Amino acid sequence: MHLIIHSILSGIIAVTGIANVHAEEYGRLPQHHAAMFAGVGVEESKEAHNESGIALGLKYRLLFHPKWSIGADIEKLFGDGPDRSWVIAMPLSFYLTERWRLFLGPGYEISDNHDKYLTRSGLAYEFEMSGGWSLAPEIVIDFISGGTTTYVAGIAVGYGF
Tell me which residue range forms the domain holding 26. Answer: 2-160
pLDDT at 47: 77
pTM of the model: 0.81
> What's the rounded mean pLDDT across residues 88-102?
97
Average pLDDT value for the chain: 86
Mean pLDDT within 10-24: 49
Burial of 55 (C-beta count, 10 Å sphere; 0-12/13-18/19+):
buried
Q: Which helix (H) or strand (E) holds 15?
A: helix 2-18
Percent of the chain clearing pLDDT 90 (strictly above): 66
d(CA 131, CA 108): 34
- Domain of residue 153, CATH code: 2.40.160.20
Cα separation, 34 vs 111, in Å, equals 25
Q: What is the dihedral sign for C-alpha 25, 28, 34, 40?
A: negative
When pLDDT is averaged across residues 112-118 and rounded to a whole number, the result is: 90
CA torsion 75→104→42→58, rounded to 10°?
A: 20
Model confidence at 126: pLDDT above 90? yes
| Total tally of structural domains belonging to the chain | 1
Give the count of beta carbons closer than 10 Å to the beta carbon of residue 98: 14
Least confident of 25-29, 98-102, 152-156: 25-29
Query: Which pLDDT band, with edges at 50, 70 and 90, does 54 fall under?
Result: very high
CA distance 120 to 141: 6
